[in-house]
């Protein structure tokens, strides 16, 4: 989205971020995710609903791969901090395992039962807890690779200053929360200016971090493309490593197939991030 034509009214902002209105196949993609995830076999050594904190949704699903020395990818789901669950995205274990990594799927409390401040803190806790319990989980003691989609990309990005995190991938992310203060979703999130600024991944950058790949579908709504481009530009200006990838033919939902398919662009990217240096 050009910088001088940003939406200003609530209706304009709502439309700018409304993928369901822009892409008629969104319900089909969501149902496809659910069907794929229901088909995932949950057998040992996989473990479900491991508590990393006291709240009901502070749970992890762990799917080890066959390699004893594998790095671990931690996936954070999207849904504007207020929808979806880790179970919906379990199907992505296929691509994560194809890349040679263990997979952890993070659940977190959803708005309005938690503020964005709290949700960011929960995901940081989930990352730290996972890292410190890798031995207990029978996973290799290697720093994590954080992956997030949509609002999950912002949550993954907010962990990047931690010593337990080696790298990250943000997929179709919403990194700058300020526009959402004027949107209908803020009836649920209740963001004020200070909280939006504290959790603005574009401006709240760590002093150092491993590489963070910023990916989005080339058919994304302009607001989502701009979110990714500005976040990447901010990290680059701060001297933080990473890449920017516009994935041809994809919109906000179909883009996740690039992490589901064993030969997908994001699967290959993940494999490269996990490769020993």
Task: Please report how many Cα atoms fall inside a 13 Å half-sphere around the Cα of residue 59, on the Cβ side.
Answer: 11
Mean pLDDT of 244-260: 98
Mean pLDDT of 120-142: 97
Share of the chain above pLDDT 90, in %: 95
**Given this model, what pLDDT does residue 5 score?**
46
CATH superfamily of 10-274: Alpha/Beta hydrolase fold, catalytic domain (3.40.50.1820)
Distances from the Cα of 41 to the Cαs of 33, 60, 72, 177, 251, in angstroms? 15, 16, 19, 37, 28
Q: What is the pLDDT of residue 7?
A: 53
What's the pLDDT score for residue 1? Answer: 39
What is the C-alpha to C-alpha distance for residues 189 and 165, in angstroms, rounded to an integer? Answer: 27
Provide the pLDDT for residue 44: 87
Q: What is the pLDDT of residue 6?
A: 53
Residue whose C-alpha is closest to residue 252's, from 21, 4, 3, 38? 21
Token pair 């996936």 is at which residue? 75
Q: Over the range 86-103, which residues count as b (16 or more CB within 10 Å of their CB) and which as e?
A: bbbbbbbbbbbbbbbbbb
Q: What does the block give as tokens for 109?
A: 């409390």
Peptide linkage before 112 cis (omega within 30 of 0):
yes
Q: What is the pLDDT of residue 4?
A: 42
The mean predicted confidence, pLDDT, of the chain is 96
Of the listed ranges 8-17, 58-67, 81-90, 231-240, the least confidently predicted one is 8-17
Q: Where are the domains of the chain?
A: 10-274
pLDDT band of residue 277 (cuts 50, 70, 90) is: low
């Amino acid at each position: 989205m050009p910088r001088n034509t940003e939406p200003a009214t609530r209706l304009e902002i709502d439309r700018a971020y409304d993928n369901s209105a822009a892409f008629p196949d969104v319900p089909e993609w969501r149902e496809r995710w659910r069907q794929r995830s229901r088909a995932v076999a949950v057998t040992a050594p996989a473990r479900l609903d491991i508590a990393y904190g006291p709240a009901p949704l502070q749970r992890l699903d762990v799917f080890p791969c066959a390699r004893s020395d594998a790095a671990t990818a931690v996936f954070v789901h999207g849904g504007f901090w207020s929808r979806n669950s880790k179970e919906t995205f379990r199907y992505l274990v296929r691509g994560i395992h194809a890349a040679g990594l263990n997979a952890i799927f993070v659940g977190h409390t959803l708005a309005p039962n938690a503020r964005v401040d709290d949700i960011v803190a929960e995901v940081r806790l989930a990352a730290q807890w996972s890292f410190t319990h890798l031995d207990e989980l029978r996973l290799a003691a290697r720093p994590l690779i954080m992956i997030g989609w949509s609002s999950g990309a912002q949550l993954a990005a907010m962990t990047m200053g931690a010593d337990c995190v080696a790298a990250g991938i943000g997929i179709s992310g919403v990194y700058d929360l300020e526009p959402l203060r004027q949107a209908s979703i803020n009836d649920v999130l209740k963001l004020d200016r200070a909280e939006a600024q504290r959790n603005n991944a574009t401006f709240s950058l760590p002093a150092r971090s491993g590489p963070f790949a910023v990916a989005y579908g080339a058919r994304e709504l302009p607001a989502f493309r701009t979110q990714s481009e500005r976040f990447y530009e901010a990290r680059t200006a701060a001297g933080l490593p990473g890449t920017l990838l516009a994935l041809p033919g994809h919109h906000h939902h179909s883009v996740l197939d690039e992490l589901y398919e064993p030969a997908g662009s994001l699967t290959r990217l993940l494999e490269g991030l996990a490769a020993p240096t």
